[in-house]
Amino acid sequence: MENFDWKNLSFGYVKTDYNIRCYYRDGKWGELEIHTEEDITMSMAATCLHYGQEAFEGLKAFRGKDGDIRIFRPQENAKRMVSSAEYIEMAPLPEEKFVEAIKKVVKLNERFLPPYGTGASMYIRPVLIGTGARVGVHPADEYLFCVFVTPVGPYYKNGFKPIDVIVDRGHDRAAPHGTGHIKVGGNYAASLKSQSWAKKQGYSIVLYLDSAEKKYIDECGTSNFFAIKGNTYITPASHSILHSITNLSVMDIARGMGMEVECHKVAFSELDSFDECGACGTAAVVTPISKIVDPINGKEYIFSDSETPGRVTEKLYNRLRAIQLGEEEDKFNWIVTV
């Protein structure tokens, strides 16, 4: 696109040409529809508005070094949306229809795909909502799946630079046996107050501890947590943690680099023993953490200065980005080319 400042994009919404929609009615999913309008019309009694019957995903497409369009692991997002839908009693969209919709919406909006070398990408947002009218607490009988795209820059305005994190013991992102492991809007609504609190104090994100005991690391407000200890990549395991596709990918990359990978409960008291820490997710990619501050005990855990990422974290980030951009062979078969 002419006169578009690709290198200075924020992580925000930009209207694009087309979105894709698909309706579930009379017990079955219809065909994919191409739309140009941004608005959605639904009943004021729709279950998504009253009872939170809503799930969403986030993934990215990239313009590769060779000019090809690469979508990163859409099959995994399709599986995760099915898991989210089934957990809150929504009609799951077939995985093949999900992937078809993703490919179609990216191709239709190709002119909004940032060029290679700009550091920007195309963010893809699939949403599944209950549109059937209900007054009693029951699942809807009608659903809408839609997916739109928008060009985005880095999630954090400074790009791949270490961030400061604050521990929030006063709020929980999700209950121990609640919806933390699926990608539904309610989890993010529950994090907004905590995130605002952190921002006002000058921190990029919060770090949540487990809701039951406040002894174990859960995840960051927008992404999974990981740590590097020697030659080991460590990430917490919990029913309350969303299974990040980025984290799963970075674990595979770490194994490919000869590292050990551990996924288990991680005690907060272990922070002192880690060499590096980071956060990872679709929006944030891999983000190094400079320090973690616990305001309750007044302690700071320092992992790097504000400019220099950890050596291993940087290697993991560079390897992931190289695969996404076609700079390195995709030995994992993660990429779907449009």
- Asked if residue 194 lies in contact with residue 160, where contact means CB atoms within 8 angstroms, the answer is no
Q: What residue type is assigned to position 30 of the chain?
A: G
**Among this protein's residues, is 183 annotated catalytic?**
yes
Given the residues 60, 103, 183, 291, the one annotated as active site: 183
User: Number of H helices and number of E strands within the chain?
Assistant: 7, 18
Q: Smallest Cα–Cα separation from 228: which of 277, 160, 159, 174?
A: 277
Q: In angstroms, rounded to a whole number, what is the distance separating the alpha carbons of residues 302 and 322?
A: 28
Cβ atoms within 10 A of the Cβ of 39, count?
Answer: 5
Q: Are strands 28-29 and 121-130 parallel, antiparallel or unpaired?
A: unpaired
What stretches of 176-236 show up as alpha helix (H) in DSSP?
A: 185-189, 192-200
Taking the C-alpha atoms of residue 217 and residue 106, their distance in angstroms, rounded to an integer, is 36
63-38-154-7 Cα dihedral, nearest 10 degrees = 60
Q: How far is Cα 221 from Cα 205, in angstroms, rounded to an integer? A: 6
- Please identify every residue annotated as catalytic: 183
